[in-house]
Structure 1
Amino acid sequence: MTTIRTAAVIGSGVMGSGIAAHLANVGIPVLLLDMVPKQLLPQEEAAGLTLENPKVRNRFAVSAIDKLKKTNPAPLYSDSFASRITSGNLEDDLAKLGSVDWIIEVVVENLQIKQQLFSRIETVWKAGTIVTSNTSGISINAMVENAGSEFKKHFLGTHFFNPPRYMKLLEVIPGEQTDPAIIAFMTDFCEKKLGKGVVQAKDTPNFIGNRIGTYGLLVTLREMLANEYSVEEVDAVTGPAMGRPKSATFRTLDLVGLDTFVHVANNVYDLVTDPVEKEVFNTPEIMRVMVEKGWIGEKQGQGFYKKVKTEAGKEIQALNLETMEYAASRKISSSSLEASKQAKGTPAKLKALLGAKDRYSDLAWNILKPVLIYSAEKLGEIADSIVEIDNALKWGFNWELGPFETWDAIGLKRSVERMEAEGSTVPAWVKEWIAAGYDSFYQNREGRTFYYLKNEYRGLETRPELISLQALKQQNKVIRSNSGASLIDIGDGVACLEFHSPNNAIGADILTMIQQSADEVRSNYRGLVVANEGKNFCVGANVMLLLMEAQDGEWDEVDGIIRLFQNSMMKLKGLEKPVVAAPHRMTLGGGVEACMPADQIIYSSETYFGLVEVGVGLIPAGGGCKELAMRASQHIADPEVDLQPLINHVFETIAMAKVSTSGHDTKRLGYMRAQDTVVINPDHRIYEAKQAVLRMEQAGYSLQPQEKFRVVGENGKAVMQIAAYTMRQGGYISDHDLLIANKLAHVLAGGNVPAGTLVTEQYMLDLEREAFLSLCGEPKTQQRMQYMLSKGKALRN
């Protein structure tokens, strides 16, 4: 097996269609099969269809594909990718399974049904085809116990987490007879092609992520009931205060669905034999009652929380588990929660929370302690290494730290002493490790990570595609640095410009480093990568600084900031060495403009890219308007061909602050050029950017000279302004929106010049700066800026 070119997914429910969508996302044509319906729908009867009609027989798969385009969050990178999925059914199309490279089973979690399905698949199976199950906990070996030995060699579990596009974790579960070469191939394929974080789990109930994660949620619920904590109190503690998602415990359960959670917990309860462990997985009566009432979470409109309409608007209400009544959700505060909030980084947050010694500190400790002990007890049973367990919880449940990383963060030796003093039994191997003189499960030596494995430290595998800027900084690879950015040597003569200001917002420090980096790379390096490891690539310029200067009337200062931004972008664009930008996640406003000078952009698949300055009452002034206007002109080389439609599209994109829904979606908005690409695995983007720099340099890179480009001029401006005026007359935009739109139209049109006039980049930058400065002086723009800073969302005034 060298590659997977085609695939089939059996089962078109939420999970099956989601997996099919993600395969389509990465360019793999998929056959989506389901059962044949047993009866007609009223609309099918009205249309004169019969049960023999292909539209009816393929209904489940057809309906699932249609839903993909309407689902939010979107399972597809682009709606057009749905065309890569073909619908079918298990009676008419079973034989087609013999022509695909990968068959994925995603049917109901019932062992007997799965066994029957795999028996049918084997009758048409082509030798060498990989077959996997997406089960979340049923035994991989039991599913194919009656299959032939060759089939078993090519069979394993591939457990995607939901939703498949967004969740990083994929558990690979080998069977007893799975060919090791198949395991290695699928691990590599799922990481590189599907962009997943792959962990290898053992064939035990619920594997790794759901085994530990479900245990942790049940422990939390029991602690809550035993000590009378409210839903809001538990979520206040088990969210960001502990390095967990904002959805914490009960919002997470509502999202997952209580019925689903109970099923997953019951799976362990039914299969484990240890009475103490079994009792933990015996779901509390309160949860079973909620399921019986249909209070199973968001899909039914209520669970531990529900939204209700009030006279003031929508209100979030929380369930009181004593009265089984809902009341307005309360905001919880305490000294321990505040201490955690003020601390920087998850280790510091945990220490602050646990060290405060109040009611919420006790809750955190009493739910953390059993999870750490249980994780240690299961090492060797559910996975061979602590790394697999830690990664499963980080990638599958969005924990900042896995259980063993958490243990290190709070102090291994000290916490074990406390556990034993409180009567808990800590696994012997943990105590032996401490007795041998070790005080952590992980060590960092000169940027390389070592971890506990069978009573010794083992170095974590180093792979060229996993470039860590953090590790390189620990290895003294920093070339230059200031408070907002660093230039780092990433090897082979390539440097990387990393932003690290708060939220990676662009201020004078980053702009200064951009200029210094251009000088450094020009003299001493083969090329430059612009990338970072922040939560988001860049949320834009430093709005706070701009607002302060504008409110003080320091217009020369504002003008200076904009000139510095523009000059920095042009210096980056004028660098005589290849420049590649590798943005990820939120890349907005100035973040987009920092990517635009690059010779190539390598988008992470999850890149949300857009010029959103109108949200704070401004227009792009760091070259964003100029670049898009210039690209439109360059796209149509014939001066006789009308440029207006392309400029109208640019105008609409900026004026409506449109943001891409993925890296691929940047093409729809007009940001992606022919040379730009998308990398599926975000962990590989810096490596891929570096390789792109090297390819350009080796091919004999030469800087493209600046050339004048044509604009639509005064007549084209009028077209855009009429469109904006029509929007205002229709009540779709405000007077201030219209003012902004008119200034944007002026810039994109190239000002008051005749249509077809050739202009320079600097001319367009001057137009941007003038419009930007005038808008900064508008009180309503300053109100928008203030609102964004305080509320984190746009004000429409």
Structure 2
Amino acid sequence: MSKKLLVRRAAVLGAGVMGAQIAAHLTNAGVDTVLFDLPAKEGDPNGVVGKAIANLGKLSPAPLASKPLAERITAANYETGLEHLRGCDLIIEAIAERMDWKQDLYKKIAPFVADHAVLASNTSGLGINKLAEVLPEQLRHRFCGVHFFNPPRYMHLAELIPARTTDAAVLESLETFLTTTLGKGVVIAKDTPNFIGNRIGVFSMLAGMHHTEQFGLGFDTVDALTGPAIGRPKSATFRTADVVGLDTMAHVIKTMADTLPEDPWHSYFQAPKWLSALIEKGALGQKTGAGVYTKRGKDILVLDLQAQDYRVSAGELDADVATMLKEKDPSRKFAALRGSEHPQAQFLWAIFRDTFHYSAYHLESIADTAREVDFAMRWGYGWSLGPFETWQAAGWKQIADWIAEDIVAGKAMSNAPLPNWVFDGRDGVHGNAGSYSPARNSYVPRSSNPVYARQRFPDPLLGEKFSQGRTVYENDGVRMWVDEGDDIAVVSFKTKMHTVNDQVLNGLQEAIAVAERDFAGLVIWQPKEPFSAGADLAGALGLLQAGDVKGFEAMVANFQATSQRIKYALVPVVAAVRGLALGGGCEFQMHAASSVFGLESYVGLVEAGVGLLPAGGGLKEFAVRASDAAGPGGDVFAQLKTAFESVAMGKVSASAMEARELKLARDNDTVVFNAFELLHVAKAQARALAENGYRPPLPARRVQVAGDVGIATFKMMLVNMLEGRFISPHDYEIASRIATVICGGEVDRGALVDEEWLLKLEREHFVALAQMPKTQERIAHMLKTGKPLRN
């Protein structure tokens, strides 16, 4: 019975931090969601949930992709609202981590759960089989664990934990839903305490804490060592503990101690004395304003155990150790760390060694293959490589021998032997045939679940190579390629941050010509984020400083010509956008036949920040869209207001949905939740347009503009801002020119102009601004610091 999980309505039980955010993300994904909690003691019985929903708007990073979505979540309570459950296809339980509470709730809801509905517990480590024991027989095959990582909108990992009774078809269909609808990276875990991510992740933090003490290092030094320097998030070790909450951290450690009595590392499963002392004082980390770190004024202070007080955080890496970490060859890097006498290097070798040792020892009991462990650490903890990938990259055999030597010498945290398979002559655990499974003693390929056919380039593991397609055309700026037998070509930029220079402009124009001749459509897509950080500022500033105004004007004209070429191509050009799409990158997608956005798309026309205005056809496009929306004789100005504010303030959307609200995306542009499916959807979109007999829009020759009255109205708003000191005189200058272009220049209100007129206005005002000293100061400052200058 391979039945598809059709989720029309979902319920989330528990409106705590996690539950409310899971409900928010389901709602982001267009799933009608009911959020439950206990009835309020007084007033509205759904008051507890109402408060949790209101709180979603205050959280940062934002759980909701669009603020108004909060109103779409239905509030309910366990006393009067259980009837809601009858209409739910998926029920996710996310109450506090107590077995007895969860089991009591299951008994209470069981009579209301529909015969086809799937029930999943978002527990971070309680036994799934134990939870299932209280369920009625007919519900057990539709029950499993699904563990989202916090914050659920942004963390890619979702661990799926089957119970012994879970139906395979239920699991496969839930995996499909999590992958495509919610955009997750799914890892199947065995039913063991803390599953995979937290089992390895918390152990690696405990190892970090243990060795911090052993080598006498400061907390800030350890954070400098265990962050981006080794391919891990900025929050590193102790900052992460502060963010998670020191009380939560201690609770998780205690859970490990209680549930893993047989673990050979059991003696380390206890909170260090300093951690317990901080918790007693109520210093629980970020939520209380003090933990391992605290802030005084602008200074960040760190706890100093010697002085029993806070000191200013310095966290310096030793110069020699920093050099070792910059070594590109992992085998040389690890040899240097292990051979060094420096405590910082010894610390790093020790935490890697013990994490490798722990991961290998427990692999068979916690996961089917090494792939699950590596993905769990990458997607759930933000490591650039998982533990097995790191070990394999550094030379499997050599590292294994060193770990074994350290175990014998009593240097490792445990004297448990490495499993035999580590020494069977292998060079690693990932290869062409898949990833190693100790239980099956074989290499297991990636999942055969059909949902993964949507990922042309899945997240690659070490050593995995995916065909890059056949190159059709290439220059220094772009590469255009196609899969064999496909009629939709793809073009990708080759520049840093995918910025736009002359080679990109000329390359795009050529790629469109090739697509018109040989293919049914073209997709603009980048293998890695961002989509494009905009125009190449350094090149532009060079032309200006050299006094080459003609060359500068030609570059702007070429930019506009490229946007127009995208818009009027005879085959559909579809933009596949994720990550940053700024300036020219945003303008290209505005001119595409259609855009497909990854949910996490941060879109903006930010030229004002560098003293310029958008001149790649973006303002012209706003004017054309406003004219179309208003209709003959309609109010064009009303259609322009949001777009003007977005550009004048340099706003950047915090999601693809917000890009629609800011008028930087069209209302009918598609939003895709799984970034690895973006190319698949964009190609399908291009193919659908082509199949429908695509023709580009007719040239916009009669664009109705807001004219002088529109400009004057915008300027009134700006004068108030200038007088209130919200903007500088140069900001006023830039915004006035944006208003002039978007309103079609000093012509009568309702006058009809053509696109060429609007493009000429863009160019004139862009070139005029570019020659002003204050603008050139802004560009130079942005290039030097990466931050905008308000002058």
TM-score range relative to shorter protein:
over 0.9
1:121 Cα shift? 1.2
Aligned residue in 2 for 1:792: 786
DSSP 3-state at the match of 2:591? coil
1:31 aligns with 2:34: yes
The 5 A counterparts of 1:229-240 are 229-240=217-228
DSSP 3-state at the match of 2:364? coil
Letter in 2 for 1:464: A
Aligned residue in 2 for 1:406: 390
1:379 aligns with 2:372: no
Aligned residue in 1 for 2:492: 498
The 5 A counterparts of 1:14-29 are 14-29=17-32
Q: Which moved more, 1:451-460 or 1:522-531?
A: 451-460
1:337 Cα shift? 5.6
| Contact 1:305/1:316 (8 A) holds in 2 | yes
The 5 A counterparts of 1:187-586 are 187-274=175-262, 276-309=264-297, 314-336=298-320, 338-339=322-323, 354=337, 357=340, 358-423=342-407, 427-433=418-424, 435=425, 438-443=426-431, 450-453=434-437, 454-461=440-447, 463-468=452-457, 474-475=467-468, 477-491=470-484, 492-586=486-580
1:761 Cα shift? 2.1
| Contact 1:294/1:300 (8 A) holds in 2 | yes
2:112 to 86, 108, 124: 124
User: Quick one: distance in 2 between partners of 1:650 and 1:12?
Assistant: 36
User: Quick one: distance in 2 between partners of 1:63 and 1:761?
Assistant: 50
**Alpha-carbon spacing, 1:599–1:352, altered in 2? closer, same or farther (3 Å):** farther
User: Quick one: distance in 2 between partners of 1:482 and 1:338?
Assistant: 37
DSSP 3-state at the match of 2:390? helix
1:601 aligns with 2:599: no
1:613 Cα shift? 0.9
Letter in 1 for 2:319: S
Give per-residue Cα distances to partners, 1:249-297, cap 9 Å, x unaligned. 1221111111111111211110112253212222212211121122211
1:458 Cα shift? 3.7
1:409 Cα shift? 2.0
Aligned residue in 2 for 1:673: 666
Q: Which moved more, 1:499-508 or 1:257-266?
A: 499-508
1:157 Cα shift? 0.7
1:674 Cα shift? 4.1
User: Quick one: distance in 2 between partners of 1:502 and 1:392?
Assistant: 29
User: Quick one: distance in 2 between partners of 1:560 and 1:204?
Assistant: 64
Aligned residue in 2 for 1:46: none
Give per-residue Cα distances to partners, 1:163-189, cap 9 Å, x unaligned. 111111111111111111111111111
Letter in 2 for 1:587: A
Aligned residue in 1 for 2:646: 653
Give per-residue Cα distances to partners, 1:50-105, cap 9 Å, x unaligned. x3x4x1x2111010111112222111111121122111211111233222112211
DSSP 3-state at the match of 2:603? strand
User: Quick one: distance in 1 between partners of 2:285 and 2:189?
Assistant: 29
Provide TM-score, normalisation by structure 2.
Answer: 0.93
1:9 aligns with 2:12: yes
1:738 Cα shift? 0.6
User: Quick one: distance in 1 between partners of 2:339 and 2:733?
Assistant: 52
1:455 Cα shift? 4.0
| Contact 1:473/1:488 (8 A) holds in 2 | no
Structure 2 residue runs without a partner (length 5+): none
User: Quick one: distance in 2 between partners of 1:206 and 1:131?
Assistant: 19
**Alpha-carbon spacing, 1:483–1:307, altered in 2? closer, same or farther (3 Å):** farther
**Alpha-carbon spacing, 1:13–1:377, altered in 2? closer, same or farther (3 Å):** same
User: Quick one: distance in 1 between partners of 2:335 and 2:680?
Assistant: 36
User: Quick one: distance in 1 between partners of 2:322 and 2:509?
Assistant: 40
**Alpha-carbon spacing, 1:742–1:343, altered in 2? closer, same or farther (3 Å):** farther
User: Quick one: distance in 2 between partners of 1:168 and 1:793?
Assistant: 29
1:342 Cα shift? 5.6
1:355 Cα shift? 8.0
1:62 aligns with 2:50: yes
| Contact 1:243/1:350 (8 A) holds in 2 | no
RMSD in angstroms over aligned alpha carbons? Answer: 2.2
User: Quick one: distance in 2 between partners of 1:95 and 1:400?
Assistant: 45
Aligned residue in 2 for 1:47: none
**Alpha-carbon spacing, 1:85–1:730, altered in 2? closer, same or farther (3 Å):** same
Letter in 2 for 1:68: L
1:452 Cα shift? 2.5
| Contact 1:27/1:84 (8 A) holds in 2 | no
Give per-residue Cα distances to partners, 1:699-756, cap 9 Å, x unaligned. 1111222122121122221221222112101111001101111111121121222222
* Percent pairwise identity: 37
| Contact 2:630/2:639 (8 A) holds in 1 | no
Aligned residue in 1 for 2:143: 155
| Contact 2:643/2:664 (8 A) holds in 1 | no
1:570 Cα shift? 1.8
DSSP 3-state at the match of 2:479? strand
| Contact 2:490/2:522 (8 A) holds in 1 | yes
The 5 A counterparts of 1:167-186 are 167-186=155-174
1:137 Cα shift? 0.6
| Contact 2:361/2:418 (8 A) holds in 1 | yes
Q: Which moved more, 1:11-20 or 1:25-34?
A: 25-34
Aligned residue in 1 for 2:101: 113
User: Quick one: distance in 1 between partners of 2:466 and 2:363?
Assistant: 32
**Alpha-carbon spacing, 1:726–1:275, altered in 2? closer, same or farther (3 Å):** closer
